Amino acid sequence: MTAEITTPQELQKMDPVFGQLSFDNHEQIVFCHDKDTGLKAIIGIHNTVLGPALGGTRMWKYNNEWEALNDVLRLSRGMTYKSAISGLDLGGGKAVIIGDAKTDKNPELMQKFGEFVHSLSGKYITAEDVGMVTADMDTVRDVTPYVTGISEARGGSGNPSPVTAYGVYMGMKAAAKYQFGSDNLAGKKILVQGIGHVGETLVSHLCQEGALVQMVDLSAQRLEEVSQKYGAQIFTGDDMYSADVDIYAPCALGATINDDTVYKIKAKVIAGAANNQLANENVHGPILQERGIVYAPDFLINAGGIINVYGEIAHYGKEEALRRTENIYNTTLEIFNYAVQHQMTPQKAAMAIAENRIEQRRKENAK
Ligand code: NAD
């Protein structure tokens, strides 16, 4: 089924949950509310065939509950594909907390959220996403063991973002190899959108290799800081999508490749950290392909973070997490080749391989 965004007005016309466009046979959707702390959260469990549904918690000031529901449905589905393609024994889940992480987040709210996670008895395991930091996961750990991405001081794997960035870097190099014939990024013009936890580390890898990096973020202060640290340029043009660059790295929020932007993009490679970069994978993936733009599937190349937190469950350390993350380079090239062989987009190729793995396991589980 299509996972696509639509306007809040259109969303409201549909059946509230199972009729949403982004609903894709999710196993369980849990609405969490607590009057005292003001917590309003939704936990989406998409699929648990391969294992417990692991995925981060996003805190965001959604315009309305429809947007939050749509986001958790899309994100949890993406986690199913991400873990499956990465060879992890994990299902797909995600949570959203409705609110402003800067002003509405506090330990009481996070503990209450942790209690809801705990009530699912391990079917859903949480971690960081946008609006969350390692300290928040430590707070959740006070009330439930079903949390990863906790601090190293408490026996966890710490902030997953640097490992995510390393995986994105590997995926980008593979896409460059496929498109330009070399994975050397020195001299390549690369636009990074979103200089947050992942974006900054990605910029540091790219600058170190000699790429010509331009950056976009909502925060001018953030841009200044990172520019001074690594020597990357701040993008100053009117429209970043039509910027004359070789590579576009979406590292902010999802759905930036949509009806408004897909025909403007001049980059020949798209490789970034954001989840669900294609507003509609059935529409925008094929358009990119027709336009000769190589799109590295988001859920494949941004899997470093989940590979890192999975170490807390599978009991491996940072070195093994980095080794597995480095392998994203090989997997990305394999997916591009599979896509050519089977005449499909790389996104659909990665999805097909992930679905096969889940289907095989389903049959084994049924025996
Ligand atoms: P973050 O919140 O630390 O950073 C996001 C940055 O994007 C912020 O600096 C914000 O100002 C900026 N931003 C938001 N909207 C923007 C816009 N319209 N234009 C330009 N900049 C904008 O988040 P993060 O942890 O760096 O994650 C970035 C993306 O990668 C998210 O989509 C996240 O879901 C995805 N992701 C993150 C991880 C991880 O390990 N952190 C793992 C997998 C996927």
**What single string gives the DSSP state of each residue in 324-352?**
HHHTHHHHHHHHHHHHHHTTS-HHHHHHH
Q: Residue 168, exposed/middle/buried by CB under 10 A (0-12, 13-18, 19+)?
A: buried
Ligand 1 atom at minimal distance to the Cα of residue 196: 4
Q: Determine the Cα–Cα distance for residues 184 and 132; give it in Å rounded to an integer.
A: 34
What are the backbone angles phi and psi of residue 120, rounded to the nearest 5°?
A: -90, 5
CB within 8 Å of 77: residues ≥ 6 apart: 3, 22, 24, 26, 44, 46, 47, 92
Distances in whole angstroms, Cα of residue 211 to Cα of each of 189, 239, 304: 6, 21, 22
Which pLDDT does position 6 carry in this prediction?
62
The CATH number for 163-303+332-353, chosen from 3.40.1410.10, 3.30.1220.10, 3.30.465.10, 3.40.50.720, is: 3.40.50.720
The answer to whether residues 54 and 1 touch, using CB atoms and an 8 Å cutoff, is: no
Fold of 21-79+92-154: Rossmann fold (3.40.50)
Give 198 Cα–ligand 1 centroid separation in angstroms.
Answer: 7
Which pLDDT does position 11 carry in this prediction?
64
CB within 8 Å of 334: residues ≥ 6 apart: none
The finding on whether 61 has its CB within 6 A of some atom of ligand 1 is: no
The finding on whether 198 has its CB within 6 A of some atom of ligand 1 is: yes
Region(s) of the chain under CATH 3.40.50.720: 163-303+332-353
Judged by phi (left if over 0) then psi (alpha if -120 to 50, else beta), residue 94 lies in beta
Which pLDDT does position 1 carry in this prediction?
36
Which residue, judged by its Cα, is nearest atom 2 of ligand 1?
A: 130
Which residue, judged by its Cα, is nearest atom 11 of ligand 1?
A: 218
Q: Determine the Cα–Cα distance for residues 338 and 96; give it in Å rounded to an integer.
A: 34
Q: Determine the Cα–Cα distance for residues 266 and 119; give it in Å rounded to an integer.
A: 48
The finding on whether 32 has its CB within 6 A of some atom of ligand 1 is: no
Q: Determine the Cα–Cα distance for residues 225 and 232; give it in Å rounded to an integer.
A: 10
Which residue, judged by its Cα, is nearest atom 40 of ligand 1?
A: 161
Which pLDDT does position 5 carry in this prediction?
56
Which pLDDT does position 4 carry in this prediction?
54
The finding on whether 55 has its CB within 6 A of some atom of ligand 1 is: no
Q: Determine the Cα–Cα distance for residues 151 and 142; give it in Å rounded to an integer.
A: 12
Which residue, judged by its Cα, is nearest atom 32 of ligand 1?
A: 274
Q: Determine the Cα–Cα distance for residues 32 and 10; give it in Å rounded to an integer.
A: 24
Task: Say which DSSP state 235 is in.
Answer: P
Structure token pair of residue 50:
């391969």
pLDDT in tens, the chain (367 residues): 344 556 767 766 678 888 887 899 999 999 999 999 999 999 999 999 999 999 999 999 999 999 999 999 999 999 999 999 999 999 999 999 999 999 999 999 999 999 999 999 999 999 999 999 999 999 999 999 999 999 999 999 999 999 999 999 999 999 999 999 999 999 999 999 999 999 999 999 999 999 999 999 999 999 999 999 999 999 999 999 999 999 999 999 899 999 999 999 999 999 999 999 999 999 999 999 999 999 999 999 999 999 999 999 999 999 999 999 999 999 999 999 999 999 999 999 999 999 999 999 999 999 8
Distances in whole angstroms, Cα of residue 86 to Cα of each of 14, 126, 163, 259, 276: 34, 18, 14, 30, 17
Give 344 Cα–ligand 1 centroid separation in angstroms.
Answer: 28
The finding on whether 218 has its CB within 6 A of some atom of ligand 1 is: yes
* Tokens 């065939």 sit on residue: 49
Maximum Cα–Cα distance across the chain: 59
Active-site positions read: 94
Region(s) of the chain under CATH 3.40.50.10860: 21-79+92-154
Helices (H), 142-259: 161-180, 197-209, 220-230
Which pLDDT does position 21 carry in this prediction?
78
Ligand 1 pocket test: which of 102, 163, 164 has the largest number of ligand atoms within 8 Å of its C-beta? 164
Which pLDDT does position 16 carry in this prediction?
82
* Tokens 């600058």 sit on residue: 207
